[in-house]
Amino acid sequence: MSGGAGKQTGTPAVAGRFTAPTGRRAAAAPALCAALALALALLPAAVAGAATRADDGPRTLQLSRKEAGKGGSITVTGRGWRPKALLTLLICGQNMIGGTNSCANGDGRAVTTDAHGAFRRSLPVAEPPKPCPCVVHVATVTGEPAAADAAFKVAGHPVAPLPDERAGGRLTVLAPPRLTGSSGLLTWFGAPPQRELTVTVGNLGSAPAKDPVFTVGTSHGVLAPEWAEQQWRGTVPAGKKAEVRLPVELAAGAHGDYLVSLKYGDKVLVEQPWGVGRPWGVTLFWVLLCLVIPMAVFRIGMAIVDRARPRRTAGTAATRGTTPAGGSAALPWFTPDTAPSTTTSTERPTSKGSA
């Protein structure tokens, strides 16, 4: 009986080992499930936060060397840029105050950032057209404008004091220009052709550009452009972009191929061709004028000849035997024949043998 009782008491103990955990494990299981659920809930937010920090973090530039001579090369490393963005790398003089005109554009390089907004690119050292202090300038080509500079010294390149930076920021064009508008009926008859030049500009400077003054020029063929200043009413904040619209007008009767240029300061921002049609209304006017004037002169001349021609009097017509019974002069070819007829006679012919 004792052995049977031992078997009976042992069996529930073995069964209880597999059906229910101990007290410590029972307390740890709910905590582990809660921690796992919390981690799964916070994982998307952590990934999104990391991506946001990668996109919105400060843009940094690092150079492998701070000084190098012409013919050498440096390695430019950047972080915090927009993922998959196309960038340009340039060596510029005068801290790029004059825009890309002060950069060695022919020796620049392009690079595309990776999925985390980082890049690494080798850049040949070239002497910019302006004296130092020089910088390595990196800027986006498409999308939202972004730029950064890193100080760099080109060994052997002249150094000069920096000029005063133009007040109102540093503007550059971000999109191809457009000429909007159309010609009306008056333009077909020689009125001045008019269009509106639309450009998207971005402010790469550190100060806002308020009411910037642009210079618009138009040229025809090999002739030099004619420039005129135009002030755009508005403000372009630092690091932002804006759409600028400026009117463009040509001379009356202009036609052919023209080139519209836009300058900001001493820098030419855009050049846009403009094909102007011929004012055919003017040509039609001159053709009609050439036909109407001869006809009018002819009619005036005929009227003068008709008035200056001598008139025939009644006495003159009577002496010529051409005055009809009504007393009015008749044309010569309508005058009745007064000569005796040789074919007609009022006498009857005599018969043969009659007295």
The percent helix, strand, coil of the chain (3-state, each to 5) is 30, 30, 40
Strand order in the sheet with 86-92: 67-69, 147-155, 134-140, 86-92, 109-112
Say whether pLDDT at 194 is over 50: yes
Percent over 90 (pLDDT), the chain = 28
- Cα 89 to Cα 39: distance, rounded to the nearest angstrom: 42
Question: What is the tens place of the pLDDT at every residue in 37-58?
Answer: 444 444 444 433 443 343 445 7
pTM: 0.40
Secondary structure of residue 321 in the 3-state scheme: coil
- More confidently predicted of 215 and 278: 215
Say whether pLDDT at 11 is over 90: no
Say whether pLDDT at 20 is over 60: no
Question: What is the tens place of the pLDDT at every residue in 78-116?
Answer: 999 999 999 999 999 988 876 778 899 999 999 999 999
Of the candidates 230, 232, 252, which has an alpha carbon nearest to the alpha carbon of residue 183? 252
- Cα 323 to Cα 332: distance, rounded to the nearest angstrom: 10
What is the pairing mode between strands 86-92 and 109-112? antiparallel
- Cα 201 to Cα 239: distance, rounded to the nearest angstrom: 11
Other Cβ atoms within 10 Å of 70 Cβ, number = 15
Question: What is the tens place of the pLDDT at every residue in 147-175?
Answer: 889 999 999 999 998 765 555 567 888 88
Which of the given ranges, 134-138, 167-171, 318-322, has the highest pLDDT on average?
A: 134-138
Contacts of 194 (CB under 8 A, 6+ apart): 181, 187, 247, 248, 249, 250
- Cα 259 to Cα 345: distance, rounded to the nearest angstrom: 99
Say whether pLDDT at 132 is over 70: yes
Tell me which H or E stretch contains 15.
helix 2-19
Say whether pLDDT at 339 is over 70: no
- Cα 50 to Cα 321: distance, rounded to the nearest angstrom: 127
Least confident among 87-101, 293-307, 323-337: 323-337
Other Cβ atoms within 10 Å of 236 Cβ, number = 24
Q: Which two tokens stand for residue 5?
A: 């009782």
pLDDT of amino acid 277:
82
Confidence band of 192 (pLDDT split at 50, 70, 90): confident
pLDDT of amino acid 342:
53
Of the candidates 83, 79, 63, which has an alpha carbon nearest to the alpha carbon of residue 123? 63
pLDDT of amino acid 43:
44
